[in-house]
Chain A
């Protein structure tokens, strides 16, 4: 025996379910462009059926369906694509940092242009050549000094800008640490709320979307591992240490309290990333921050070292040849034999300190252009200097491979003789010319910057592909939503119509029946 109002109840459940579905459609459409949003579906399921109670009831003769109900509102997500996406994001971040950095280094070297070191070197050679032909001319001597000053000025400027770039990246890295910390806090907060809701058996869909988005952003900054537990809370770790675990955050800090001198050019206050709680150094790799740190500690240092080595070559090879010559009769015979000197005699950072020696800059007659003392028209030593352009550095050291200074004495550094081709002085006698060696630095830089650019493009297209893959599951298709909307609208209408039918039936029973004889 069915109850009187069963039909109306079924129709009501129908309208409610369709309405809920329509709401979900509205929610989807509204969030079609929300970053990180995954489309939702209200899952319809038939309500528990009702066995018909009757005296003559035989089990199995059928149950009465009691309409529809919304079982849950689920998200359509592709978790695999999300994981892959996080991995590619940290690669993209890494290469983006490398690209940005290397591009800046290219700008700093400013090659191949007519306003940079290589061209200044060419012009210096030419000036020395001119001097070799007119050693008695004060004008030519002045030009040599000017050109040499432009050259050393260019080297120093380039080097200082590289050091400046290192400081900039250093400061920027600290900003990234702040970003990591604030994102970690947000993720922990979301974790707490998600945990609360998930433990009641509900789906905290929109909160999960928010968290997924934050994880993506975080993975672009640094390489992270994510593990989601049974109550849907995410544990995030960097280099094997948890930064977020459930609702707790372990903060990172950037510490630049100590001045670094080991393994770097010169000294500076380097930001070291530490765990705030333990003071341990954080193992940061990948991502924008990882790329930045690697760029700071390896790439910039490498280019600074290369420039230093090159400036040392320039210093020693020119000085060595210059020292074998004689001053003009108008110069001071007893003047030092160096052509280049180091500012403040600091020879540990050649590129920062190289300059035209004071006795030469102040009195151009002290340029040792002659191979004979007291002969004003002899430019043979200037010619020997100019020939370094084409001859390579065969005169840097003596027969046993020890570096020689302008006086032809073996160079002593920190109490030890400097041997060519060792870490102390990487160049050997048989190496290429100064110009070629500088070319090699620039070509190497170009290749590396080009690689970084290509990698950024590759990573971008990979990320794009994965985003599309993720989007193909999670994204909102408006056509689809509209079709659903029509579907649910019609179902709603039909349910309402059902109610009218039931209403009419009741009308018949209640108002029209039993009127006979009235």
Chain B
């Protein structure tokens, strides 16, 4: 092929240009620290960068969920521990009171202390974590347990009655059914006379014990209706009623405690956390599950101590104390197991984070050593091309003619 000066020139320029472009590419990579700035640099790497970044975000979120979950469980655990300690203390008082050698003043003093412990227990049951009630299920902003006197309880039952009557328009059958159940119970416990309605139930002259017994049975009676083949919309209405009206009561003396938290029956019980794709675990312990028995047994202990029923204390109450304590400890160990599980998950997620970060950095970040090597390489090629070019371009026959 015949070569002209222009061909030599063009080729040299083109080669220089290509060298310079490669130099610029490496330079860009080094300056930005990124291997891939645009999808066309490496479409496959761009795809995996985006995917890995998503995974990293996701992992980060799960890790945050787990950490918050662990802190929630720690808070729950410490409250349950305190509750157990308090139960020990109350049990000791009961054992002391069951000996039967105490005089009335001492027994009353013991009863007062159990009462104090009861109040403290209610406080524990109302513990919060980050502004949320620990034991209320999904009703995180409702105070879990509320102490009421007899008047308050009657008011609550009246308001329940009103709410049931309020259902009359939409669900007459359900309303009638619930009302008859409520009135049947009131009558059974002698709180109203036969022929009276729930509206006639008043606080005057009521025995605290009878009210207590009535209250203990009430939720079961109302909820039974739920299992008797309700229509979907009736069931929803009943659920709404259960959400609006606290119907779990526990009490001692003339003090009653109502539970306002979520309940399993109407699916407001659990606060679930996602700690991995499709891995949801409920973290919370429900107040009426953990504290229901506790309140009941402490109230009973209070009454027996107050009444001087030493035999009842040793035969019933101590055994019930043990059961309630077992129950509480059961929740403690459940919380411990969940904490373990979350900590394992945290470990796994942290490991995964390291792996993902390494993979991400692999496709996203420039290997500086390698890039600098390339840079030097391209630089050399460029210099060589320049010096060779300078030599080729220079002479022609013109230079040698006189």
Contact = CB atoms under 8 A, between A and B. Distances in A.
The finding on whether chains A and B are genuine partners in a shared complex, rather than unrelated, reads yes
Interface of A: 32-33, 102-103, 106-107, 109, 111-112, 118-119, 122-123, 125-126, 129-130, 132-134, 136-137, 370-380, 383, 386-387, 389-390, 435-436, 438-439, 442-443, 445-447, 449-450, 453, 464, 467-469, 471-473, 475-479, 482-483, 486
B139 A468 contact: no
Contacts of A389: 54, 58
Interface of B: 1-7, 10-11, 14, 36, 38-44, 46-47, 49-51, 53-54, 57-58, 60-61, 64-65, 68, 130-133, 136-141, 239-240, 243-244, 262, 266-268, 271-274, 277-278, 280, 364, 396-398, 401
What 9 pairs between A and B have smallest CB-CB spacing?
Answer: A446-B39, A377-B140, A446-B43, A475-B4, A449-B40, A482-B397, A377-B138, A122-B57, A378-B138
Nearest to A481: B397
Given A380-B272, A468-B7, A479 B262 contact: no
Contacts of A371: 267
Given A132-B274, A372-B266, A475 B39 contact: no
B28 to A, nearest CB: 14
Chain A interface, DSSP helix/strand/loop, else mixed: helix
Contacts of B240: 373-374
A464 B14 contact: yes
Given A111-B46, A389-B58, A478-B396, A376 B2 contact: no
A376 B262 CA distance: 10
A477 B3 contact: yes
A107 B38 CA distance: 8
Contact of B58 (A390, A447, A475): A390
B43 A472 contact: no
B148 to A, nearest CB: 22
A479 B2 CA distance: 12
A464 B10 CA distance: 9
B271 A377 contact: yes
Contacts, number: 181
B251 to A, nearest CB: 26
A472 B8 CA distance: 11
Contact of B4 (A119, A387, A471, A483): A471
A486 B401 contact: yes
A112 B39 contact: yes
Contact of B38 (A134, A449, A467, A475): A449
A477 to B, nearest CB: 4
A514 to B, nearest CB: 46
B53 A471 contact: no
A449 B2 contact: no
A107 B337 CA distance: 51
Nearest to A123: B57
B375 to A, nearest CB: 21
B131 to A, nearest CB: 8
Given A123-B57, A136-B141, A443 B44 contact: yes
Nearest to B18: A457
B278 A450 contact: no
Nearest to B51: A439
B268 A479 contact: no
B35 to A, nearest CB: 11
Given A387-B274, A471-B6, 5 more contacts: A111-B39, A122-B57, A125-B57, A446-B39, A453-B40
B273 A133 contact: yes
B243 A374 contact: yes
B84 to A, nearest CB: 26
Given A32-B6, A111-B39, A375-B268, A442 B50 contact: yes
Nearest to B239: A372
Contacts of B5: 32, 475-478
A137 B68 CA distance: 15
B46 A112 contact: yes
A202 B61 CA distance: 83
Nearest to B395: A479
A478 B397 contact: yes
B139 A375 contact: yes
B10 A467 contact: yes
B205 to A, nearest CB: 37
A446 B44 CA distance: 8
Contact of A33 (B6, B53, B132): B6
24 contacts: A112-B364, A118-B53, A119-B53, A133-B273, A134-B130, A134-B132, A136-B131, A136-B132, A374-B244, A375-B262, A377-B262, A377-B271, A435-B54, A443-B47, A446-B38, A446-B40, A446-B41, A446-B42, A447-B39, A449-B39, A468-B7, A468-B11, A473-B2, A478-B398
Contact of B141 (A33, A376, A383): A376
B40 A103 contact: yes
B125 to A, nearest CB: 16
Contacts of B64: 130
B43 A443 contact: yes
B68 A445 contact: no
A126 B60 contact: yes
Contacts of A378: 138, 268
A379 B68 CA distance: 15
A438 B39 CA distance: 13
B68 A133 contact: yes
Nearest to A461: B14
B40 A450 contact: yes
A373 B1 CA distance: 86
Contact of A472 (B2, B61, B262): B2
Nearest to A442: B39
Nearest to A370: B138
A377 B46 contact: no
Nearest to A380: B272
B361 to A, nearest CB: 13
A136 B38 CA distance: 41
B39 A472 contact: no
A160 B68 CA distance: 40
A476 B4 contact: yes
Given A374-B240, A453-B40, A112 B49 contact: yes
A125 B61 contact: yes
A351 to B, nearest CB: 18
A390 B262 CA distance: 29
Nearest to A109: B39
A389 B398 CA distance: 74
B39 A376 contact: no
A445 B38 CA distance: 10
